[in-house]
């Protein structure tokens, strides 16, 4: 993508520079015949635009054509990646119904969980690619349903933590997949950094979504770097520290103000101001 953009920009630079030299030279020559400066400027602008249009139209067409081919290739590749994962999940479900041995069932459960992780990774890759080539579409959806979907997704790994959805029936309009990633990441962090028999509660108030937990909290000094990539409050936990960075990037793009209220060992409360995406 970058090499293609670089080639496009370089080609444009060459065309603009060449046209500028031609127009400047012609303008000096016209000075002998047209004494009116205003007429010469109008003529020069018209000539510049006309030449640029005719010279650049071919590279613009080529740029758009290669961009279309790239999008088609990406869609095809993503589809091919998704097919084997779906096949694994379907066959594991069939085997689980026919196998009674506890050890083999446990192995199948691990395979199924691994397949789910692959699906999640696939969805993340798909979103990232489509985001970069600007194929993201905004749609209206229920906030409560999005939170419910996230809670179900983490049902197997929440352990003894109680998760509650007290959100009102609010409809928002934004990039649904991107917003789902935000909720998933915030819930994942709330579970990962929580205490045994702790809680996570989602609720809405004054057009804001709140995610409150009983976790270990964040050190005050770390609040300045909490959105940086690779930041982790507890480096010993699994993961890459990208969660809050992804959340912040999305919120900035959609003009969603995010705030963190936290105390060490007393939990955290994260608020998302939804006023700019309310339907």
Per-residue pLDDT for the chain (279 aa), expressed as one digit of tens each? Answer: 455 566 666 777 777 887 788 778 777 777 767 777 777 788 888 888 887 777 777 666 666 566 666 666 666 666 666 667 777 777 888 888 888 888 888 888 888 877 777 776 766 676 666 666 555 678 999 999 999 999 988 887 888 999 999 999 999 999 998 899 899 889 988 998 899 999 999 999 999 999 999 999 888 777 777 777 555 545 444 443 356 888 888 899 999 999 999 888 889 999 999 999 998
Say what the pLDDT of residue 47 is.
Answer: 81
Strands (E), 60-216: 139-142, 162-166, 171-174, 199-205, 208-213
Instruction: Tell me whether strands 268-273 and 171-174 are parallel, antiparallel or unpaired.
Output: unpaired
DSSP for 182-194, written as a single string: HHHHHHHHHHHT-
Say what the pLDDT of residue 138 is.
Answer: 87
The residues, ordered by sequence, that sit 6+ positions from 22 with a Cβ below 8 Å of its Cβ are 51
- Say whether 163 sits in a helix, a strand or coil: strand
Strands (E), the chain: 139-142, 162-166, 171-174, 199-205, 208-213, 257-262, 268-273
Residue ranges per domain, the chain?
Answer: 1-135, 139-273
Say what the pLDDT of residue 96 is.
Answer: 82
Say what the pLDDT of residue 173 is.
Answer: 95
Nearest Cα neighbor of 189 from 221, 163, 220, 224 is 163
Say what the pLDDT of residue 235 is.
Answer: 47
Residue pair 19/48 in contact (Cβ under 8 Å)? The answer is yes
Q: What is the CA radius of gyration of the chain?
A: 27
Nearest Cα neighbor of 43 from 22, 23, 29 is 23
CATH topology of domain 139-273: Heat Shock Protein 90 (3.30.565)
């Amino acid at each position: 993508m970058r090499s293609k953009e670089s080639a496009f920009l370089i080609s444009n630079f060459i065309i603009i520079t060449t046209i500028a030299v031609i127009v400047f030279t012609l303008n000096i020559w016209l000075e002998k015949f047209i004494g009116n400066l205003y007429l010469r400027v109008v003529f020069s602008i018209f000539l510049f635009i006309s030449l640029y249009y005719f010279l650049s139209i071919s590279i613009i067409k080529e740029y758009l054509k290669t961009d279309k081919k790239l999008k088609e290739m990406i869609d095809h590749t993503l589809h091919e990646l998704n097919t084997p994962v779906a096949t694994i999940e379907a066959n594991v479900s069939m085997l689980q119904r026919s196998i009674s041995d506890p050890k083999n069932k446990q192995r199948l459960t691990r395979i199924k969980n691994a397949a789910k992780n692959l699906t999640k990774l696939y969805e993340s890759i798909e979103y990232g690619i489509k985001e970069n080539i600007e194929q993201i579409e905004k749609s209206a959806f229920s906030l409560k349903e999005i939170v419910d979907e996230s809670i179900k997704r983490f049902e197997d790994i929440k352990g003894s933590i109680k998760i509650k959805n007290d959100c009102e029936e609010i409809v928002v309009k934004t990039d649904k997949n991107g917003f789902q990633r935000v909720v998933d990441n915030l819930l994942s962090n709330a579970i990962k950094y929580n205490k045994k028999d702790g809680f996570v509660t989602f609720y809405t108030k004054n057009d804001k979504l709140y995610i409150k937990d009983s976790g270990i909290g964040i050190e005050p000094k770390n609040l300045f770097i909490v959105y940086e990539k690779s930041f982790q409050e507890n480096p010993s936990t699994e993961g890459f520290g990208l969660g809050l960075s992804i959340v912040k990037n999305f919120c900035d793009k959609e003009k969603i103000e995010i705030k963190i209220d936290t105390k060490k060992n007393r939990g955290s409360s994260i608020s998302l101001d939804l006023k700019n995406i309310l339907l």
